[in-house]
Structure 1
Amino acid sequence: MLPRDFAILVFVCLTWASNFIISKIALTELHTPPLFFSAVRFALVLLATLPWLLPMPRPRWRMLAVGLLMGAGGFGLVSIGLLTASPSSAAVVTQLGVPITALLSVVMLGERISWRRGIGIALAFSGAMAVMWNPSGLSLSYGLIFVLLSAFASALGIVLVKQLGSVQPFQFQAWVGLASAVPLGIASAMLETGQVRLALDAGWWFVATVVYAALAVSLAGHSLFFRLVQKYEANLISTLTLMCPLMAIGLGVVLLGDRFDGRMAAGTAVVLVGVLMIVITPRRGKGRP
């Protein structure tokens, strides 16, 4: 990989990692309701990519489903989870999207999993359980359950993307924005109260956090990532993106004082080893042993 492209990938991972911190601040320090925050974020994404909205990719129902799953499902549920979960633990649990995608590919696309990838999936899930488990009681951490649901929604969206036609990055972002902003806005109006007042009270801090999430994370980060995926092997890019959870953990500990004990460290290591085994193992074609 060219040094310039590696620097771009580091920037993308740092942007994605910082999103956990920025979102946590918006939700817990500025007291922004999570559904409202996510709705405004995707409304800004839609506004920025409106010129690329048409023509609508086909099949239309699949494009809407993908947009809803990867937008409202992926980021909306993470926002709910971050109300109580730490950015560090959330960053680790989101890595379960990799093994969940592999499992869904077997069920929905007929792909097969080698024994190495099977071990990697088992390791990723066992490590995540160690991170999610609440050591003070016999229960799972409440916020991380929403993060896990987010990983599932994003993974299902990725599998559905494989069955879409050719879609340009900005066109894809436009439909994710539309398919997410509308249902999130309706859900916020029905389930949350005082969201506009809270946003106004937060002032420019709210504007800064939501603009960063929309433009830096969604538009710049994902568009640059798509270009790198088109240029280099997917296994290489997937392996290097493991920098993202490590960066998020470091930022969470340094900036927010996240607790990172031995249990978290061991669970994180097991998850990353499992994910690494999945992404560096060549995929087997459909119907092949």
Structure 2
Amino acid sequence: MTLRDFALMVVVCLIWASSNVVSKYVVSHLGVPPLFFAGVRFVLVALATAPWLMPAPKPLWRILAVGVLMGAGNFALLFIGLKTATPSSAAIVSQIGAPLTAVMSFLMLGETMNRRRIFGVSLTALGVILVMWDPRGFHASMGLLFVLAAAFLGSLGAVMMKQMDGVKPLQFQAWVGFSSAVPLLIASALFEPGAIEPAAAAGWRFAAAVGFSAIVVSVAAHTAYYGLIQRYEANLVSPLTLMTPLFTIGMGVLFMHDPFGPRMALGTIVALAGVLIVALRFNQLVSLVLAMRPRAQ
């Protein structure tokens, strides 16, 4: 990977990490209801990517299902979870998505699930449990259960997306926005009466946050990431996304004063190690370890 593309990957991960912190600020500190926030976000995504909506991918029902799972369902549950969960813990729990995708690909698509991947999935699950577990009682981590459910829906959508060919990144974003905006706004009207008032009271802060989430995160960063995936092997690019939870933890501690004790640190290390084992083959893991080894001067 060229230095320029690696720098682009770092910027993408920084943007994704910032999104977690910004979303927490919107739903928790500004008090904007999560379904309304997600709905407005996808309205903007749909408008920004409308020129790429047609021609519709086939089968139509599958792209709609994928859009709802990876858009409305995933983000609605994530934002609900962020009302009570910290960005740092949510970022680590979300890492269960990669192992879940591997397991569902095995169950739904018949892909290989060898002992290495089983070990990686188990390790990631253990790390996530360490992060979610609270000595004072599991009820304190209810927000992370929503984050866990969001990761499940996102993984299911990703596996269903594997069964479609020829859908380009901006077209995919267009259909995610189109299929998610209306259901989210209807759900917000039903379950979040008066949702407009706190958004209006937040004024420019809400406008800036939702614009950043829709245009910079969903359209720009995701499109850049898909471009990197097209230029390089997925096994090279995917592990680099682990910078996102690390950046999120740093931003969460710095800006949101997230607690980060020994249990959280251990869970983070275990979970990310499991994701690496799932994402990389053995020889790639050895190469990565050797590359990280200090060299004599």
Deviations 1:220-277 (A, max 9, x none): 0100000000001101111111100000000000111000010000001000000000
Alpha-carbon distance in structure 2 between the residues aligned to 1:62 and 1:74: 16
Whether 1:266 aligns to 2:266 is yes
Q: Report the equivalent of 2:61.
A: 61
1:185 maps to a residue whose letter is L
1:166 maps to a residue whose letter is G
Q: Report the equivalent of 1:32.
A: 32
Q: Report the equivalent of 2:7.
A: 7
Q: Secondary structure of 2:100's match?
A: helix
1:241 maps to a residue whose letter is T
Q: Secondary structure of 1:271's match?
A: helix
Q: Report the equivalent of 2:141.
A: 141
Structure 1: gaps spanning 5 or more residues: 283-289
Shift of 1:168: 1.4
The 3 A distance-change label for structure 1 pair 140 and 157 is farther
Where does structure 1 differ by over 4 angstroms across 4 or more consecutive aligned residues?
Answer: none
Q: Report the equivalent of 1:286.
A: none
Structure 2: gaps spanning 5 or more residues: 283-297
Q: Report the equivalent of 2:191.
A: 191
Say if 1:117 and 1:281, in contact at 8 Å, map to a contact too: no
Alpha-carbon distance in structure 2 between the residues aligned to 1:209 and 1:256: 16
Q: Report the equivalent of 1:275.
A: 275
Q: Secondary structure of 1:84's match?
A: coil
Shift of 1:113: 1.0
The 3 A distance-change label for structure 1 pair 166 and 140 is farther
Q: Report the equivalent of 1:132.
A: 132
Shift of 1:140: 6.4
Say if 1:78 and 1:150, in contact at 8 Å, map to a contact too: yes
Shift of 1:74: 1.6
Alpha-carbon distance in structure 2 between the residues aligned to 1:157 and 1:140: 29
Identity %: 54
Alpha-carbon distance in structure 2 between the residues aligned to 1:74 and 1:13: 19
Shift of 1:45: 0.1
Q: Secondary structure of 2:84's match?
A: coil
Q: Secondary structure of 2:55's match?
A: coil
Deviations 1:5-41 (A, max 9, x none): 0010000000000101000111111110000000000
Whether 1:113 aligns to 2:110 is no
TM-score, normalising length from structure 1? 0.96
The 3 A distance-change label for structure 1 pair 140 and 159 is farther
Q: Report the equivalent of 2:164.
A: 164
Q: Secondary structure of 2:163's match?
A: coil
- How many residues get paired? 282
267-276 or 71-80, which deviates more: 71-80
Shift of 1:281: 2.2
Q: Secondary structure of 1:80's match?
A: helix
Q: Secondary structure of 2:218's match?
A: helix
Alpha-carbon distance in structure 2 between the residues aligned to 1:274 and 1:140: 25
1:266 maps to a residue whose letter is L
Q: Report the equivalent of 1:233.
A: 233
